[in-house]
Amino acid sequence: MKIKGLVTIGLIILLSCKTEIVEPPVPFGPLPTESQLAWHDIEFYAFIHLTINTFTDKEWGFGDESPELFNPTAFDAEQIVLSSKNAGMKGLILTAKHHDGFCLWPTKTTEHNITKSPYKDGKGDIVKEIVDACRKHGLKVGMYLSPWDRNTATYGTQEYIKIFRTQLTELLTNYGDVFEVWFDGANGGSGYYGGANEERKIDRLSYYDWENTFKLVHELQPNAVIFSDLGPGVRWVGTEAGYSGDPCWHRYTPHGRNGNKPGIGETMYLEALNGHREGDFWIPAETNTSIRPGWFYHKHEDDKVKSPERLVKLYYESIGHGTNLILNLPPDRRGLVHENDVASLTKFKEIIDATFSKDLAQGASIKASNVRGNSSRYSTDNLLDKNQQTYWTTDDDITVSNLIVEFPKETEFNVINLREYIPLGQRIWGWAIDKWEDNSWKEFAKGESIGNRRLWKGGLQITNKIRIRITEAPVCPTLTEISVHLEPVQLAPPIIHRTATGNIKITSNGLIRFTLDGSEPTEQSAIYENEIPFEKGGTIKSKVFYKGESSETTTSTFTHSKNLWKIMEASSSEKNREATKLIDDNKQTFWQSHEQDKNKDIVIDFGKILNLKSFSVLPRQTEMKNGIITHYEFYTSLDGENWKLAKAGEFSNIINNPIEQVVSLDTIIKAKFIKFKAVKVFDANYAILAELGVMVD
């Protein structure tokens, strides 16, 4: 008895010792730094694009704009910061200087700055006002300083590198802690350059001596991560359209002319989108996109604000894939985030809160196929404790493993959230989720990467238990969190399209109401019954109403009907890329000019005289950039023989952000014919265009 007792006590001591000394798993692969970990934690923040462009209706200023143009009439940093915070964002990055070179703070480096503007009689400092409001409301601050400067005469020389670094030093010493420094990839090209008005090419890799520029940032702000196309802290996701790849690995091996060193170089779209499962460095992706088509405010985009549902989709396709999301909210000419943007953000936040405020996994029991050393330190309780420092993991030799989550009762859900314990590296390479149904497991979700966060969202599932399987892992996996949610089901919005005769047709399976004056449809708006004649074009908004509920609003803007139009001239070679494709009102089809043909003009006969107000151009809507028109001339004529140049210019940022370009004419012009000339195209000897349209008075 005595001996038996002793043995038992011994065993207990041994066992409890064992639970005490179970070592955590050995880290795997490249690991995040402290500042990257802090960055992962922020997840969602605002991009604020504000400068002279806001007042010139441009996306890229040329650099010759007068500082006098910068004059927000009711600038309110707190409104901007609170619009971000109320949407759930935890930080904000401001364009302290964009490509046009105008500095939003009183810099000593150039005259081209806010002190020369009428704003607060030249005594203003937008950077300071934004930073102060961020500190007051608990948002982290980031700085965007464009390496390209189209204003300064020194651009392209070593002198400019000194100026650029001094600007960086001012921003990183005078405004407190910064969490991220944003270096844009757009660099070199035509510009004002102190009056030279010329093209200046620089070598993207060597000109800025990035190694030492990065060093300067690290010295001044040791906790900041550096964003650029290829890191070193954070990489671009490869598109501005608002999504990330699936999978999207935090690990990455840059492949540039720079060798595989992190830093500035060329982005390869697919690599940036997906990252590399076995990449050499921890360079996680940041998804950047704007709440509107453009990065700067344009009145003509007031109706093109991403809908709350579109923002929710964006959330799942960026944060839900483990990337951070930087969402641009461009202040308008008053210096405020526009009402339409705020309304959309508010509804978006309501949907996110309705989904995530309730975690259906709380109260469930979780059983793991293996727990590391059977230790309570790594138990499945850690998955529900909302503490990112505790995690579940397995014994070293166990990689394929599973977790069964049993709910107290039948549970309805359509969202699952999983998180890895990333301080030990990205360790899960494959996962799947099954539900218990008709006495067997049925798989309904699977993927590869998890990382900082992985959100699955799909059709409604009803079950009393699910099984999360780790199907592939190079080493023992870790998870810090599992939660299960129900996003309230929404009424499907109506679909608007235009018929071949120029009419509007709206379809849905409920009662449709619509407006033509830009206002939100209400219970009092006109009911849609028959096709709506819409020759002149304009904006139509519609919404489905059902039992006191309503769907999201569908907004469509159409140019003048093209059904009478004839193409008079446009070279074209390939089948399915004929010139008629650019007036078929179909965004997916496009015209491609003949490679051997130098003349890339398009001449169109309207069939009657129109009073032209503006024209619009839609580039090809795929990720292929070759043939996109970057510079144009637009002519009008009454007889098809005598032409007048109505407008010429560049489509700025069209390569990274291939959205519809709307160009206003200086006056209303009567014309029966137009000629559109592709003056410069990107990386091809042919031009490509998906649609050409006009807006009339």
What residues make contact with Ca ion under the rule CB under 5 A?
581, 584, 586, 589, 690-691
* Shortest CB 318 distance to Ca ion, Å: 29
Closer to Ca ion at the Cβ: 112 or 581? 581
Q: Which residue is nearest to Ca ion (CB)?
A: 589
Assess contact for 62 and 100: CB atoms under 8 A: yes
* Shortest CB 263 distance to ligand FUL, Å: 17
Q: Which amino acid is at 194?
A: G
Query: Does residue number 295 form part of the binding site for ligand FUL (CB under 6 A)?
Result: yes
Query: Does residue number 656 form part of the binding site for ligand FUL (CB under 6 A)?
Result: yes
Closer to Ca ion at the Cβ: 223 or 589? 589
**CA atoms of 22 and 133, how far apart (whole Å):** 47
Out of ligand FUL, Ca ion, none, what residue 581 binds, judged by CB under 5 to 8 A for its kind, is Ca ion
DSSP states along 512-578: EEEESSSPPP-TTSEEP-SPBP-TT-EEEEEEEEETTEE-PPEEEEE-S--TT-EEEE----STT--
* Shortest CB 290 distance to ligand FUL, Å: 8
CA triple 355-361-366, angle to 5 deg:
155
Out of Ca ion, ligand FUL, none, what residue 100 binds, judged by CB under 5 to 8 A for its kind, is none
Q: What is the CA radius of gyration of the chain?
A: 28
**What one-character DSSP code corresponds to residue 451?**
T
* Shortest CB 674 distance to Ca ion, Å: 17
**What one-character DSSP code corresponds to residue 280?**
S
SS (H, E, C) 26-86: CCCCCCCCHHHHHHHHHCEEEEECCCCHHHHCCCCCCCCCCHHHCCCCCCCHHHHHHHHHH
Sign of CA dihedral 312, 317, 323, 328: negative
Closer to ligand FUL at the Cβ: 268 or 445? 268
Q: Which amino acid is at 202?
A: I
* Shortest CB 98 distance to ligand FUL, Å: 6
Dihedral angle, C-alpha 531, 533, 539, 541, nearest 10 °: -20
Out of Ca ion, ligand FUL, none, what residue 589 binds, judged by CB under 5 to 8 A for its kind, is Ca ion
Query: Does residue number 267 form part of the binding site for ligand FUL (CB under 6 A)?
Result: no
Binding residue count for ligand FUL, defined by CB under 6 A? 9
- Site track 658-687 with ligand FUL (rule: CB under 6 A), x = hit: ------------------------------
Which of 83, 239, 274, 288 forms a contact with ligand FUL (CB under 6 A)? 288
* Shortest CB 519 distance to Ca ion, Å: 30
Q: Which residue is nearest to ligand FUL (CB)?
A: 186
Query: Does residue number 571 form part of the binding site for ligand FUL (CB under 6 A)?
Result: no
Query: Does residue number 318 form part of the binding site for ligand FUL (CB under 6 A)?
Result: no
Do strands 691-696 and 688-689 pair parallel, antiparallel, or not at all (unpaired)? unpaired
* Shortest CB 590 distance to Ca ion, Å: 6
Tell me phi and psi for residue 223, to 5 degrees: -95, 0
Q: Within 148-187, which residues bind ligand FUL (CB under 6 A)? A: 184-186
Tell me phi and psi for residue 416, to 5 degrees: -130, 140
For residue 532, count other CB atoms closer than 10 A to its CB: 17
* Shortest CB 289 distance to ligand FUL, Å: 9
Closer to ligand FUL at the Cβ: 288 or 555? 288
Length of the chain: 697
Closer to ligand FUL at the Cβ: 88 or 185? 185
- Closest-CA residue to 323 (of 431, 262, 248): 248
Helices (H), 286-338: 308-318
Out of ligand FUL, Ca ion, none, what residue 656 binds, judged by CB under 5 to 8 A for its kind, is ligand FUL
Closer to ligand FUL at the Cβ: 32 or 101? 101
Out of Ca ion, ligand FUL, none, what residue 690 binds, judged by CB under 5 to 8 A for its kind, is Ca ion
Closer to ligand FUL at the Cβ: 281 or 295? 295
The CA distances from residue 546 to 492, 508, 551, in Å, are: 11, 11, 8
Residues engaged in binding ligand FUL (CB under 6 A) = 59-60, 184-186, 288, 295, 653, 656
